[in-house]
Amino acid sequence: MANSYNNIIPGHIHLNDLTEAVKEGIRDAGGVPLEWGVPGVCDGIAMYVEMRLSLPSREHIADNIEIMVLSHSLDGWVGVTSCDKITPGMLMAAGRLDLPAVILTGGPMKANTINGEKHHPIEGFGLVGQVKGGKMTAAEAERKLPSMICGAGSCVGLYTANTMAVVSEVLGMSVTGCATTPALDPLKKEQAYESGTRVVELIKKDLRPRRMMSEKAFENAVRVDMAMGGSTNAVLHIPAVAREAGISVDLEMFDRIAGETPHICAIIPAGAYEMADVHSAGGVPAVLNRLRHLIKDSETVNDRSIASIAAHGKALDEDVIRPIENPYHSQGGIAVLKGNIARSAIIKQTAVDDDMQVHKGPAKVFHTEKDLLNAIEDRRIAEGDVMVLPFQGPCGAPGMPEMLTPTDAIKGAGYSRVALITDGRFSGATSGPCVGHIEMEAFNGGPIGAIADGDIIEIDIPGRRINVQLSDAEIEERLTLEKECTLLREADQKFRSIFDGSMDGLLIVGSEDGRIICVNKRLRTLLGFSEDALVGKSFDVLLPTETEQPPKDMLKELQVCGGVFTQDFMHADGHVFVMDLMATLVPWEEGWTILCTLRDATERIGLEMQLRQAQKMEAIGALAGGVAHDLNNILSGLVSYPELLLMDLPEESHLRKPILTIKRSGERAVAIVNDLLALARRGVSAGEFQALNMKDCGILIPVFK
């Protein structure tokens, strides 16, 4: 079992329980269950910058499973999954490995119904826009939040997680009914048990994923996705899964099948029904039954083929799963648009109101999601505008993040006649005239990067067109300019990387006016100033007020003379400290500037003071050593002469006492001189016992060092 359990996100908090049921099924079928962990990212949490990691996690999951299955020679495996990127990652691994496998999707959560209204987590994204748009207070939004907590399971609507669960079931990789059965429905554990028994049977019969995931199966998956109105992310995931299975699925297939297939389910966000309603109405088998004349037969992990499942399916609610003769829309959920903006682009046409199926409006261009959100919040977007957000693709962002936050901010702010186009992607929760997946992306020179504020954008969903009112020559001219600007931006990024990465403080100052042009991160940290507090200011803001020499003269003199100059600088908190300063004249734009390299000199100066002190002590020691040596020579005579006298004097002589006094005084003087010599030699006189000839006699004598 590749188990993507974690307790961070609702879609995965119950997967351990399901995994235990899978293990039980494997054991009962004669297999031995083994388990390892797979990461699971929640796109709802990973919005904004972190969203760049979400799509790459799909490949990581496929690689994880490949490594674990092959490294441990497993006979087959069950993928226990739920949220957006985990299911396609597991399907990719199934196609790549082509070893017996079953995909168990965790099932959707059920919405809370309060006073006849459904509430669920995705509503929370719209609250921010409503609060900032003045439609409700922050306190009112806080009171609404508890009603949006729905327990375990993937989000309630036909967002990406549930779209891919449906795809897995139609591809024949999940047991029948798995995609729509709610997470906490007792039937889900039965499906988990069945997944365990089925994988053992697949191993015994040597039935492998590529038998199920045939070209016909992928056509069926796209068709059911179009009929139900699934997430636009399916155009990323289905081709990726197909490629791992050795099959080609392109956008032309999506567009062709969408044109042939009616949209028969109105599921959140493109309708009022939730996935639990679809389950109650018959689930995926009922949808297959509605489409049975369009479905091509293919094998499944079940005991029966997809055609057999379709034949036995039954729609129990005529409005939740409509007959193809009475669809919600005559065409499927996704449309592929083309024009001078895009070789191809994707829109969820069934989530666009009729009056916005064709739209023309002026462009408002933003280069970051943050700038776009600020414009929405500040009401700088007018009804009729087409917001353009380039450089959000796989290379440009990088990672192709979802734009759920801006689209929900648009809805929350109450806009009804604005559109958004991007080379990024949209969440399965996105609705409205939002065109994504624009190819080529701006980073690679795509025409979306040529659009400027005020250009007229035309979106025609029925006509499958998206254009900007510019000639090819104008687009090419702008792209050439944009390419040059991109090179400049890249050069600036490299400069910034080197400049801010320096361990020394760096400062660029105008050679004529002495104003600060640029200051790196290290120097800002040393000085305690923000960049805004320094850039554009005179260099003297960094110097103490009592500095005598004018800053410009100081810098010019320094860069002419060269070398390193020590100067007092003032910290933002007012204290003064010393820095080493070196200046170099460097070219900048049309003229010259002074590049200053600064390093905190406090430690160096402290070390120099210690060195000077040590040198003084060494000189004193040398002097003391010489004096002590001379005194030692003198004292040796003073001490030895009284000893000779005492040898000749009788014991009763009255001279012995003063001579002994002289001898002892001399010995004390010798001890003092020895201490002075020890100090001069930087040693400390200390006695310790050492053994001489320990092996023979073990004698210990004191030795002074």
Catalytic residue set: 427
Q: Please give the C-alpha separations between residue 99 and each of 178, 206, 248, in angstroms, as whole numbers.
A: 21, 8, 20
Structure tokens at 71: 């490294």
Structure tokens at 416: 């009804």
Contacts of 429 (CB under 8 A, 6+ apart): 122, 125, 155, 157, 159, 269, 404, 408
Contacts of 223 (CB under 8 A, 6+ apart): 257, 260, 261, 291, 294, 295, 332
CA distance 403 to 553: 53
Contacts of 152 (CB under 8 A, 6+ apart): 10, 11, 13, 14, 106, 109, 183, 184
**3-state SS assignment for residue 573:** coil
Q: Please give the C-alpha separations between residue 343 and each of 2, 249, 410, 446, in angstroms, as whole numbers.
A: 38, 17, 27, 9
CA distance 699 to 421: 96
- Coarse DSSP helix, strand, coil percentages of the chain, rounded to the nearest 5 percent: 45, 15, 35
CA distance 192 to 68: 21
**3-state SS assignment for residue 108:** strand
CA distance 391 to 450: 11
CA distance 123 to 127: 7
How many Cβ atoms are within 10 Å of 676's Cβ, its own excluded?
18
